[in-house]
Structure 1
């Protein structure tokens, strides 16, 4: 095969891997020896000038001293591939060296394998979210994507168990393609799909990549932590079930189907307090507000039930006609690990998202009052609906202001309660983008798409989002993909407009039941204890 037989612009085609490998060897020896476009490609394997250097240096938790191609001499690669692939990083210096060189054909094959594997790894970092298991209802199946298929890089079935030198990318010196794919799927295509490769700042991108790859994008919770999450789900679901039974058909815009929101918020408060947060300003629409008032802000159940029965929502000496119960705000002081955090939930009218600028202005004022010039003590959390986040222009306007001098508040944590529907309109009919969160890319915000039925994954995303905000003082988005168990409000019948979705919802277990069964399988508790805890709320 000659160069003229190959299309050098279609580098993912398996027939071009030889061509790409030869160009890469030349580039490593002398960057000026290859075309400018190829220089840009090789330089941009990580989307920034330092990216490929990081690949050569290895992950911080598994550093290395070798070079991948020896700056044009492929012989060192043969040494690595024949000198004990699975030795630990702490005994690399004493590992025996090979006595024989690999053949030219073997060297070429090893070089191609390494290059192909790096290209595949990068593809998962960029597009792994497209194959993530994000829909709790299972109504949407991720379509195949060629860049996530090892066959696109020239790998065949016989290659899956061959050791490949990846030079401590993903923390491993060598790994089989099977192992690489397992790690990539766990990290980038599990219950979480993260978009971060669009970020312009190399430090932010590198931090996120290392943060999630180190632990394969999963937090290992203690049994105590798992019980705490379960208890929050019990309180959240129990509250909605009680109101549904006691006040059937009454508007409350319940959180049914999105109960993972409350444990996620608790994690933000707790982790935030550990990182210096003293005060949080919250803004949200009506869906889930009553649950947040009760289980997050600590508003007495008695007061909420009184409002359902027609009681006043304001003191008698306050004028005005009052407002509906799912527009009201509240303040509270919460203590996490001995550290107090003041929470302020801003009142909100029916005009979607108009509270956002009020919250940000309030945050800016409180930062000034506290002399919080580093914006580390006061932050904003904004909760959104999926249709509103894409459809309301104030979202883009507020995001645009977030990085302007004079308007900065140190970053907002955005949580999208993604019901996969806008009133009665399906996503494909109300937006032209793949995700409702795509507007956040105008400020290079990282976006965590997460399946809300995996409550531990949601809490994990909340933790990383809080750390990112505190470290970089920029916006971050959690796209929590869930569903509405009832209609737009409890008086609606959604079967008329979304029969397929709601037939699935009718038989779909709640997040609480799913998580309780998970803890039973893990031996954290037995069925009797789980049932007793789930019945304890009432």
Structure 2
């Protein structure tokens, strides 16, 4: 608890930084070693050394109380850097929560893709001047990336040809599994051109068998590929 009191006395634990600290906590839950030793010690302290996510509620209550604190006086440049870092983490969350609404799902493009402000970095208060600045990526990656690279990666993961709505899932493990799989797709699955053709041929053959069975055994109960 002494560590918590020491941190609380610093300008980092002001109300204006609550969102950033909660994002760090999410990163800590996924990979404790990815946050600095100081923050890891702080989160260990307020969780009482317990494992799993059972202590999450009291931790969130502390964040809620933290949000009520007035911002402390500090260096203006540091405050602006923190504001931008929070905006980047909010942008990442925006893609994860709303990316399915802007995914390219229509192969013949009969309708325009809708505009969703949550996935626009300008809507989060970032500018073109920030594109070459590096930011912490939270649970997206370990380490920092340039904003333009973060956006390009998120575009591949969430605005390509797969739209997945998963932020409503209450089970944390299930939600994070889907999140990791979608974001892994942005890196590619490592299939060679020959392997992709092999998979396509297998799908075409299976589809042909489906059509044959449908015509040959009309009305018979069967389990199709679609099922």
TM-score after normalising by structure 1: 0.30
Q: Cα RMSD between the aligned structures? A: 3.5
Tell me what 1:23 maps to. 15
Structure 1 156/68 Cα, relative in aligned 2: closer, same or farther at 3 Å? farther
CA distance in 1, matches of 2:193, 2:149: 28
Quote the residue 1:192 is aligned against.
162
Deviations 1:89-116 (CA, angstroms, capped at 9, x unpaired)? xxxxxxxxxxxxxx92332222112111
Q: In the aligned structure 1, how far is the partner of 2:24 from the partner of 2:173?
A: 14
SS in 2 for 1:175: strand
- More helix per residue: 2
The aligned runs of 1:395-434 (5 Å cut-off) are: none
Which residue number corresponds to residue 210 of structure 2? 292
Report which structure shows greater RCO (CA 8 Å, sep ≥6): 2
Give the corresponding residue for 1:207: 177
Query: Are 1:177 and 2:138 matched, yes or no?
Result: no
Equivalent pair of 1:187/1:216 in contact (CA under 8 Å): yes
The answer as to whether partners of 2:24 and 2:35 remain within 8 angstroms in 1 is no
Unaligned runs of 5+ in 1: 1-20, 28-41, 46-50, 72-102, 237-261, 263-289, 308-312, 314-324, 330-344, 347-380, 384-413, 415-538
Q: 1: CA distance between counterparts of 2:127 and 2:156?
A: 22
How far the C-alpha of 1:57 sits from its partner, in A, is 5.1
Q: Which has the higher strand share?
A: 1
Write the deviation string for residues 194-235 of structure 1: whole angstroms up to 9, x where unpaired.
111110111211222223324437422234421212323554
Q: Which has the larger radius of gyration?
A: 1
Contact 2:28-2:40 within 8 A present in 1 as well: no
- Alpha-carbon deviation of 1:59? 5.2
Conservation of the 8 A alpha-carbon contact between 1:57 and 1:65: no
Task: Indicate how the Cα distance of structure 1 residues 207 and 215 shifts in structure 2: closer, same or farther if over 3 A, else same.
Answer: same
CA contact (8 A) 1:57 1:64 kept: no
Label 1:59 to 1:125 Cα distance change in 2 as closer, same or farther (>3 A): farther
Counterpart-to-counterpart distance in 1, 2:122 and 2:99:
16
Of 178, 187, 199, the residue aligned with 1:229 is: 199
In the alignment, what sits opposite 1:65? 35
> Which residue of the partner structure matches residue 54 of structure 1?
26
Q: Is the 8 A contact 1:120 1:150 kept in 2?
A: yes
Q: What is the CA–CA distance in structure 2 between the aligned matches of 1:69 and 1:120, rounded to whole Å?
A: 24
Return 5+ residue gaps in structure 2 as ranges. Answer: 1-12, 43-73
- Per-residue CA deviations over 1:100-147 (Å, capped at 9, x if unaligned) read xxx923322221121111111001100011111110111122111111
Counterparts in 2 of 1:305-316, with a 5 A limit?
A: none
